[in-house]
């Protein structure tokens, strides 16, 4: 039978609840338990695909083509698993299901209410996840902060779940903040006390508190929190600042979190193995070399928009023994003042990540031209692939005004055009070419050397693609399309053979990078950058 760990958040958002939840999973996994993890997002959007990354950070794409919250990235990276669309429950999804059922007359005669109809649907969706993957433990993270109106129906459903299944089968872990007042360095417990009180007010007593702090929690702070929040001192876990998120499971396990959870859920440890992970973290912390890479993006002020790319660069860097230092270049600034292209001087690699829309695109194209002409290793992802083709069409083929139809409807040379199946789509949510798609790599190319095989699967999220009418002309001038999909109809990778390193992908390899299994394209790019750095 599956046991449930519910992870709630208190005091404020952005505490790294997703990392904490993933770290709990990592600890339990290292003890030989089968772990699954899912997330409840209490917003009304059915999925986060159409949300502005300024608000929520990047959109994570699952293997099965679902646009998920970035916490899914933490789950997949920590647990090295592939998580599907059914693992995200949103208010929108729950209400949509209940309302559709109501319209079909399935509640005939009843008054449809939040309790029991919405709460029952929440429980049903959770039980269904457990039924399909039958893990020993299903971790359920609830987005948002306790006390929000939005999360109330979910917390009520989970309270009922604990009641129905017993304390030894459903436990609550509350992630909160313990701020420090600078002048004295005193750790303040009151916000946590209030947030626990809030939870208790709706009938939930947390079993364990995970406290985000700057410095490790002092013994006296733990004692005070235990006393006021009605838990034992052992149940108060310090989640203080660490150099890398991958260290979080280690510091929490050092405080006995794993055994504590097992005892509460009456589970037994089957093995104990975190060695490889610990070695990885040690390696990450002791990297001596450094390689500087420019990331040219539109939301560089909000690093969360590129979290998976940053992590994938870090995985690859660690593998090669180098710390990747990122120089953030804001494409809007570059576009407004092309002389700023000199901001790229001295970097050993240039990466243009995925993106949408006209604003900033000319800035990115300038950066690509700089990389191509100066022989600096270049890596384009999705939009960065499309813009590389545009740059090449304009500046090498001399096709003036070449562009993507997304950016200029009336371009004389639409080298990037709408996917045919996208032409009649009016609805926006979840309608892109999404998820893992198989591709075929041509032998003897850089792409083939990078992957070491011809058949691979990578995750996609796009609406536009290379216009087939231009492929021959582009290839004649020395850019090669080295990977294709859909029976050769679609261009998936491009490279410039007489450039030191120039490789771009229509897909997003960052979603498949794991700390112990870096993505091949990231490995190759970082390696090329290190080669240049070392001269």
Instruction: Point out which residues bind ligand GLN (CB under 6 A).
Output: 354-356, 382-383, 386, 406, 461-464
Write out the H or E segment, with its range, that includes residue 254: helix 248-254
Give whichever of 270 and 358 is closer to ligand GLN, judged by the CB atom.
358
Give whichever of 463 and 484 is closer to ligand GLN, judged by the CB atom.
463
Give whichever of 220 and 486 is closer to ligand GLN, judged by the CB atom.
486
Measured from each CB, the residue nearest to ligand GLN is 354
- Name the maximum alpha-carbon separation found in the chain: 77
The yes-or-no answer on residue 382 being catalytic is yes
Q: Which of 492, 510, 527, 533 is catalytic?
A: 510
d(CA 495, CA 282): 35
Give whichever of 79 and 407 is closer to ligand GLN, judged by the CB atom.
407
- Minimum gap (Å) between residue 523 Cβ and ligand GLN: 21
Q: Find all residues with CB under 8 Å of 69, minimum gap 6, and list them.
A: 18, 39, 41, 48, 56, 57, 60, 88, 143
d(CA 377, CA 531): 10
- Minimum gap (Å) between residue 53 Cβ and ligand GLN: 11
Give whichever of 222 and 463 is closer to ligand GLN, judged by the CB atom.
463
| 463, 418 Cβ separation under 8 angstroms | yes
- Minimum gap (Å) between residue 463 Cβ and ligand GLN: 4
The yes-or-no answer on residue 508 being catalytic is yes
Give whichever of 406 and 492 is closer to ligand GLN, judged by the CB atom.
406
- Minimum gap (Å) between residue 370 Cβ and ligand GLN: 20
Output b/e per residue, 417-442; b: 16+ Cβ within 10 A. bbeeeeeeeeeeeeebbbbbbebbbe
The yes-or-no answer on residue 472 being catalytic is no
| 154, 38 Cβ separation under 8 angstroms | no
In the chain, % helix, strand, coil (3-state, to 5) comes to 45, 25, 35
Q: Which two tokens stand for residue 257?
A: 């979190």
Residue 341: how many CB atoms within 10 A of its CB? 15
- Minimum gap (Å) between residue 365 Cβ and ligand GLN: 14
- Minimum gap (Å) between residue 375 Cβ and ligand GLN: 25
Residue of 161, 221, 216 whose CA lies nearest to 190: 221
Give whichever of 151 and 404 is closer to ligand GLN, judged by the CB atom.
404
Which residue pairs, CB below 8 angstroms and at least 24 apart, start in 468-475? 470/393, 470/413, 470/415, 473/397, 474/389, 474/392, 474/393, 474/397, 474/415
Q: Which of 67, 508, 527, 533 is catalytic?
A: 508
- State the virtual CA torsion across 35, 41, 46, 47 in degrees, nearest 10: -60
- Minimum gap (Å) between residue 59 Cβ and ligand GLN: 9
> Of how many residues is the chain composed?
535
Q: Which of 382, 406, 462, 494 is catalytic?
A: 382
Q: Which residues, in sequence order, are bridge partners of residue 439?
A: 456
- Chain Cα centroid distance, residue 199: 28
- Chain Cα centroid distance, residue 489: 29
Active site (catalytic) residues:
382, 508, 510
């Amino acid at each position: 039978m599956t046991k449930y760990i519910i992870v709630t958040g208190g005091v404020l958002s952005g505490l790294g609840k997703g990392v904490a939840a993933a770290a709990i999973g990592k600890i339990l996994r290292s003890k030989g338990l089968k772990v699954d993890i899912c997330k409840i997002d209490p917003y009304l959007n059915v999925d986060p695909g159409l949300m502005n990354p300024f608000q929520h950070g990047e959109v994570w794409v699952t293997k099965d083509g679902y646009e998920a919250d970035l916490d899914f990235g933490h789950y997949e990276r920590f647990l090295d698993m592939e998580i599907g669309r059914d693992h995200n429950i949103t208010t929108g999804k729950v209400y949509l299901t209940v309302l559709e059922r109501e319209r079909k007359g399935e509640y005939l005669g009843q008054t449809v209410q939040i309790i029991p109809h919405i709460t029952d649907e929440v429980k049903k969706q959770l039980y269904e996840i457990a039924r399909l993957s039958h893990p020993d433990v299903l971790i359920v993270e609830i987005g948002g902060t306790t006390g929000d109106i939005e999360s109330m129906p979910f917390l009520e459903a989970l309270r009922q779940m604990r009641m129905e299944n017993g304390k030894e089968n459903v436990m609550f872990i509350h992630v909160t903040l313990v701020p420090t007042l600078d002048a004295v360095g005193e750790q303040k417990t009151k916000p946590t006390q209030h947030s626990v009180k809030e939870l208790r007010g709706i009938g939930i007593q947390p079993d364990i508190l995970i406290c985000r702090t700057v410095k490790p929690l002092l013994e006296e702070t733990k004692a005070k929190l235990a006393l006021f929040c009605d838990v034992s001192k052992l149940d108060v876990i310090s989640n203080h600042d660490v150099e890398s998120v991958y260290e979080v499971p280690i510091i929490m396990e050092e405080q006995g979190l794993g055994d504590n959870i097992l005892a509460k859920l009456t589970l037994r440890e089957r093995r104990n193995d975190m060695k490889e992970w610990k070695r990885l973290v040690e390696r990450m912390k002791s990297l001596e070399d450094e390689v500087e890479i420019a990331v040219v993006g539109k939301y560089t002020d909000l690093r969360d928009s590129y979290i998976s790319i940053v992590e994938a660069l870090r995985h690859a860097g660690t593998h090669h023994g180098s710390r990747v230092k990122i120089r953030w270049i804001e494409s809007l600034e570059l576009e407004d003042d092309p002389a700023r292209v000199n901001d790229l001087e001295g970097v050993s690699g240039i990466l243009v990540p995925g993106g949408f829309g006209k604003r900033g695109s000319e800035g990115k194209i300038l950066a690509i031209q700089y990389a191509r002409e100066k022989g600096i290793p270049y890596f384009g992802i999705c939009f960065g692939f499309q813009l590389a083709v545009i740059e090449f069409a304009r500046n090498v083929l001399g096709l003036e005004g070449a562009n993507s139809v997304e950016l200029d409807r009336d371009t004389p040379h639409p080298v990037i055009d709408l996917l045919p199946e996208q032409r009649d789509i009016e609805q926006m949510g979840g309608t892109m070419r999404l998820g893992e798609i198989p591709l075929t790599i041509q032998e003897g190319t850089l792409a083939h050397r990078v992957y070491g095989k011809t058949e691979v699967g990578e995750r996609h999220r796009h609406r536009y693609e290379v216009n087939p009418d231009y492929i021959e002309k582009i290839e004649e001038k020395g850019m090669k399309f080295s990977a294709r999909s859909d029976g050769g109809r679609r261009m998936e990778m491009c490279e410039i053979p007489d450039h030191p390193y120039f490789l771009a992908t229509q897909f997003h390899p960052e979603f498949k990078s794991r700390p112990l299994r870096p993505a091949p394209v990231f490995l190759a790019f970082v390696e090329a950058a290190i080669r240049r750095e070392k001269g």
